[in-house]
Structure 1
């Protein structure tokens, strides 16, 4: 869940690093963790802007580099079941697609990516990148009916349609959009 992310993203001992900031600590911690998963500063600020958090690239750069020496490495996982989903997000005047995965057992967000279009190619690119970041040789991917089923077949990954266990990622999207 998004509410659990701050405790995973920063240590309480680092609280003095965040003094005199106008952005809430959980938001900064989420942004830094998102950047650590491989998102660029521009991608991260775009995602934050979509959430209604308008900050300059310089402010975000300061958040990241203020914790560079004291931050932990991004988590890695070897999950057995991974829920995958996507949602449409409106950025400025256009629509983009936000793809995300979550380990259904630990509720750890494994990866998030923003694409300019919807389809099998972005879904396959997202799954390929996920496979590169985490050890997923025997993981079962829980997906929806359409593009992700095709992407799984294209990459030779194990998966099935599952609406119930994918609720974790759907709830995360709901929280993110709020």
Structure 2
């Protein structure tokens, strides 16, 4: 395959079990997923692969990301957790991206997309977070969002209202999401919310390994 020696970078964080059903070699799929999540649009990712001698469609690259089903790894035990939510446009509707970040490492611990923001939604997000990571004794850093404060109280988790400092870790994550979704005109178009959520979670995995 032309220039296949340029595809030797290790990407152990991408589970390529699904590639058994693909006609594309694993290094090519890794390259496509990694570069798309890092910043290339689908169209530019296709151009990159063409430069390497492989012709694949935008749909193929999109499907690789979806099939990889990337999720931030479990098992962390941070002393602090920065949490927040941010509005995300999907087609003509507004959804809310909830994220939890370890401010010491800037790693995304958990990310979910919800159709609204309420105390009940915040509790669901926090319950999932505590099931994935040992955060019961962590100090949660939050702004003045009523839903998150209410959820933290209901779950019996310690929190501190903080606008800056360590809580900036989650703001950096959201700025990166804004940068990436700018290539989608700041909106996920022609996709269902679960598809957008899968992409956002995959991007979180890339962020943790970048």
Kept after mapping to 2: 8 A contact 1:142/1:166: yes
Which whole-Å CA distance do the structure 2 matches of 1:103 and 1:167 have between them? 11
TM-score, normalised to structure 1's length? 0.66
Aligned residue for 2:137, secondary structure, equals coil
Which whole-Å CA distance do the structure 2 matches of 1:28 and 1:121 have between them? 31
Q: Does 1:177 align with 2:197?
A: no
Kept after mapping to 2: 8 A contact 1:142/1:161: yes
- Number of residue equivalences: 139
What's the CA shift for 1:136?
1.3
User: Which of 1 and 2 has greater Rg?
Assistant: 2
Gaps of 5+ in 1: 1-5, 11-15, 31-53, 66-70
Kept after mapping to 1: 8 A contact 2:73/2:109: no
Which whole-Å CA distance do the structure 2 matches of 1:25 and 1:135 have between them? 29
For 1:91-110, list aligned pairs within 5 A: 91-110=90-109
Structure with the larger RCO, 1 or 2 (CA within 8 Å, 6+ apart)? 2
What's the CA shift for 1:114?
0.1
What's the CA shift for 1:23?
3.6
CA distance 1:20–1:102, change in 2 (3 Å)? closer
Gaps of 5+ in 2: 1-9, 15-24, 40-57, 180-210
Which whole-Å CA distance do the structure 2 matches of 1:55 and 1:22 have between them? 15
Write out per-residue CA displacement over residues 58-78 of structure 1, whole angstroms, 9 at most, x where no aligned residue: 43355x28xxxxx9x925210
Write out per-residue CA displacement over residues 87-144 of structure 1, whole angstroms, 9 at most, x where no aligned residue: 0000011000000010011111000000011111111110111001101121000011
Q: Does 1:156 align with 2:165?
A: no
Which whole-Å CA distance do the structure 2 matches of 1:82 and 1:137 have between them? 10
Q: Does 1:17 align with 2:26?
A: yes
Kept after mapping to 2: 8 A contact 1:144/1:163: yes
